[in-house]
């Protein structure tokens, strides 16, 4: 039997398993791939919130990835929490080396509870560091505002921000509209045109939704889908999984995987 292709999550470790590399690996393997991980930071958190985190040294990020790359053929990369400016620079180097495969970047800056999950200096240089090195970036409204330095709270502003990110940094952009009032709309600019994905608001505010979506999109890209198709399928899969989410502790519901 031929082994499945390997997708790598470069992200933080959430000990509850509700987000970060542990959730990414669940999604990746549910889509038929072999998951591998490079851990950037270790957090103390549950679905109720983040208490603290410690970033690993950038040298560890490089060593972890080099070990994987020497041993297996990598078919795609998802980037999540980085924790520090040094780790951002290290991961930018990884993205430069892997231009032949899809690379999805989920810019994790702050937890839902408000806790910062990255050195604030890294936010200012985030787009410049990964310029031209990613297949897609997937900020939410707050992250898009931080990245562009402009308020992003409406569909029109989402379209302008996604276009600006592509024109300035050569990265297609999907801005997630989960914080919009009223109907939910995600906006993609793929380098040619805008696409809007309208979907119903979930009853659940599920821990790890951004991690799930970016990993799912990577999986569909690695299957050969176009960027538009991968985003549509990833959004649909995430919505379906949110409907099955359950509360396993005192915090928000989490995604549940069953064989």
Give the CATH class of 6-243: alpha beta
> Please, what is the angle between helix 141-148 and helix 155-169, to 10°?
50
Residue 120 binned pLDDT confidence (cut-offs 50, 70, 90): confident
Question: Largest alpha-carbon pair distance within the chain?
Answer: 51
For every residue of 25-36, DSSP letters joined together read HHHHHHTT-EEE
Four-residue CA torsion sign, 49, 8, 213, 22:
negative
- What percent of the chain stands above pLDDT 70? 100
Residue 251 binned pLDDT confidence (cut-offs 50, 70, 90): confident
Checking phi first, is residue 83 left (phi over 0); if not, alpha (psi -120 to 50) or beta?
left
Residue 259 has pLDDT above 60, yes or no: no
Q: How many CB atoms lie within 10 A of CB 77?
A: 27
Q: pLDDT, tens digit, for every residue of 148-188? A: 999 999 999 999 999 999 999 999 999 999 888 778 899 99
Q: pLDDT, tens digit, for every residue of 40-81? A: 999 999 988 899 999 999 999 999 999 999 999 999 999 999
Question: Which of 251, 257, 236 is CA-nearest to residue 205?
Answer: 251
Question: Which of 142, 90, 95 is CA-nearest to residue 116?
Answer: 142
Task: Give the pLDDT mean for 19-30.
Answer: 97
The pLDDT, as a whole number, for residue 257 is: 83
Residue 204 binned pLDDT confidence (cut-offs 50, 70, 90): confident
The whole-angstrom separation of Cα 96 and Cα 202 is 37
């Amino acid at each position: 039997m031929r082994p499945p292709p390997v997708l790598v999550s470069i992200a933080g470790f959430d000990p509850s398993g509700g987000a970060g590399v542990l959730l990414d690996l669940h999604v990746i393997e549910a889509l038929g791939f072999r998951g591998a991980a490079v851990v950037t930071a270790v957090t103390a958190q549950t679905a109720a919130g983040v208490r603290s985190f410690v970033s690993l040294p950038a040298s560890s990020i490089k060593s972890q990835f080099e070990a994987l790359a020497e041993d297996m053929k990598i078919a795609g990369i998802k980037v999540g929490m980085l924790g520090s400016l040094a780790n951002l620079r290290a991961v930018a180097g990884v993205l430069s080396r892997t231009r032949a495969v899809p690379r999805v970047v989920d810019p994790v800056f702050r937890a839902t509870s408000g806790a910062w999950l990255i050195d604030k200096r890294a936010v200012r240089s985030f787009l410049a560091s990964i310029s031209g090195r990613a297949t897609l970036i997937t900020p939410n409204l707050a992250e898009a505002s931080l990245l562009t330095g402009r308020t992003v709270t409406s569909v029109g502003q989402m379209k302008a921000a996604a276009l600006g990110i592509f024109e300035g940094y050569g990265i297609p952009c999907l801005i997630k509209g989960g914080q919009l009032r009223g109907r939910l709309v995600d906006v993609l600019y793929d380098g040619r045109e805008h696409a809007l994905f309208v979907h119903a608001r979930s009853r659940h505010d599920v821990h790890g939704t951004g991690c799930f979506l970016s990993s799912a999109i990577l999986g569909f890209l690695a299957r050969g889908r176009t960027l538009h198709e991968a985003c549509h399928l990833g959004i649909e899969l995430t919505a379906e999984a949110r409907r099955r989410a359950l509360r396993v502790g005192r915090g928000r519901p989490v995604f549940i995987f069953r064989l």
